[in-house]
């Protein structure tokens, strides 16, 4: 195992010592979480929080970078859209007025023109007062650009899950097996009946500042809840690509995009690969998307940004 350096290579990073663990779930809520298997990762440094609006703003000021959500859509890439739909924007969560069919995600997601990291809910909204919230509305191209500027990388799915567990191998949550130990909330998740009834105070119904909840065993904050986080692995429908037939997989990753396309997209002429996002968000609820667990995972199109997806970075030694 690599020994940690005397000091972190950059501020606000913590050393994750590496080791072996049981990756995935042996009683998965969702089939993509299995099969459980032994994996190991080398030690690495990880951002102790999700990248904040303030950190991302420094990147924008120094580089002049324009996020994908701020650029017009490419008509050749989206042949199914009309010209008036090819405007800059992003997907924004919009609560429904009452109970709705949870199988239809378009009931609560809206493509909002001009929505971006600077305008999280669209025109008229801003990140003023949210400088220490996780930056959202960032797609894969955006997070790669930030990581390159910061001389960092994006974690693999295995690195991310190992870090999220905080040394609690096999625990259901990043803090143990009980969702609310002693009645205490441990993550920013939905409280109430999703997607219409949110019982939290109005200012806490979307993202919250980083470090709002206790750190896990490695000193990492909000590894579950608040905002989903990008990983570098291309998505597969289960862990078969990461698990060996007989033995532990070391530093596993999925680097081939071919198996990440969804059949519905291919039939529609859309050829956009998906990568794994981890950790769940403030929209994960008991009655919908119980993915506020280290084993949970989801597929995300690389070109899509949304109001509940952010990221954090790593440095490998």
Q: Are 36 and 296 in contact (CB under 8 A)?
A: no
Classify residue 7: in a domain, yes or no.
no
- CA–CA separation, 301 and 149 (whole Å): 23
In this prediction, what percent of the chain has a pLDDT beyond 90?
81
Give the contacts of 253 (CB within 8 A, at least 6 positions apart): 156, 157, 158, 232, 233, 242
Classify residue 8: in a domain, yes or no.
no
Classify residue 6: in a domain, yes or no.
no
- CATH code, domain with 115: 3.90.1580.10
Classify residue 266: in a domain, yes or no.
yes
Classify residue 5: in a domain, yes or no.
no
Residue 139: how many other CB atoms lie within 10 Å: 21
- CA–CA separation, 28 and 25 (whole Å): 5
Classify residue 287: in a domain, yes or no.
yes
Classify residue 3: in a domain, yes or no.
no
Count of the separate structural domains present in the chain: 1
> pLDDT tens, 222-266?
999 999 999 999 999 998 877 665 667 899 999 999 989 877 776
- 262 alpha carbon, distance to own chain's centre: 19
- CA–CA separation, 234 and 254 (whole Å): 5
Task: Number of helices (H) and strands (E) in the chain: give both, helices first.
Answer: 4, 12
pLDDT of residue 29: 83
Length of the chain: 317
Q: Determine if the peptide bond prior to 190 is cis (ω within 30°).
A: no
> pLDDT tens, 80-128?
777 777 899 999 999 999 999 999 999 999 999 999 999 999 999 999 9
pTM of the predicted model, to two decimals?
0.93
Q: Are 208 and 282 in contact (CB under 8 A)?
A: yes
Question: In which band, very low, low, confident or very high, does the pLDDT at 268 lie, cut at 50, 70 and 90?
Answer: low
Question: In which band, very low, low, confident or very high, does the pLDDT at 48 lie, cut at 50, 70 and 90?
Answer: very high
User: For residue 89, what are the domain limits?
Assistant: 13-316
């Amino acid at each position: 195992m690599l020994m940690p350096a005397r000091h972190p290579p950059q501020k606000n990073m913590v050393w994750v010592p590496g080791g072996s663990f049981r990756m995935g779930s042996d009683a998965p809520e969702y089939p993509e979480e299995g099969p459980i298997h032994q994996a190991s990762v080398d030690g690495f440094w990880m951002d102790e929080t999700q990248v904040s609006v303030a950190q991302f703003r420094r990147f924008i000021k120094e580089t002049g970078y324009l996020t994908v959500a701020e650029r017009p859509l490419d008509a050749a890439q989206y042949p199914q859209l009309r010209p008036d739909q090819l405007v800059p924007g992003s997907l924004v969560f919009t609560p429904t007025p009452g109970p709705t069919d949870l199988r239809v995600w378009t009931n609560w997601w809206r493509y909002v023109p001009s929505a971006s990291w600077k305008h999280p809910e669209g025109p008229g909204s801003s990140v003023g007062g949210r400088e220490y919230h996780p930056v959202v509305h960032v797609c894969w191209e955006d997070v790669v650009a930030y990581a390159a500027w910061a001389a960092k990388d994006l974690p693999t799915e295995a690195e991310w899950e190992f870090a999220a567990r905080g040394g609690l191998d096999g625990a259901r949550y990043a803090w143990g097996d009980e969702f609310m130990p002693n009645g205490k909330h441990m993550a920013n998740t939905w409280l109430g009946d999703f997607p219409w009834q949110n019982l939290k105070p109005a200012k806490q119904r979307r993202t919250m500042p980083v470090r709002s909840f206790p750190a896990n065993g490695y000193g990492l904050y909000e590894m579950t809840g608040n905002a989903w986080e990008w990983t570098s692995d291309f998505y597969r429908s289960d862990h078969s690509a990461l698990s060996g037939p007989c033995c532990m997989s070391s530093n596993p990753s999925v680097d081939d995009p071919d198996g990440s396309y969804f059949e519905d997209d291919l039939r529609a002429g859309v050829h956009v690969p998906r990568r794994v996002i981890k950790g769940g968000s403030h929209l994960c609820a008991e009655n919908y998307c119980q993915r506020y667990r280290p084993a949970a995972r989801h597929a995300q199109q690389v070109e899509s940004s949304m109001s509940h997806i952010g990221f954090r970075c790593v440095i490998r030694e």
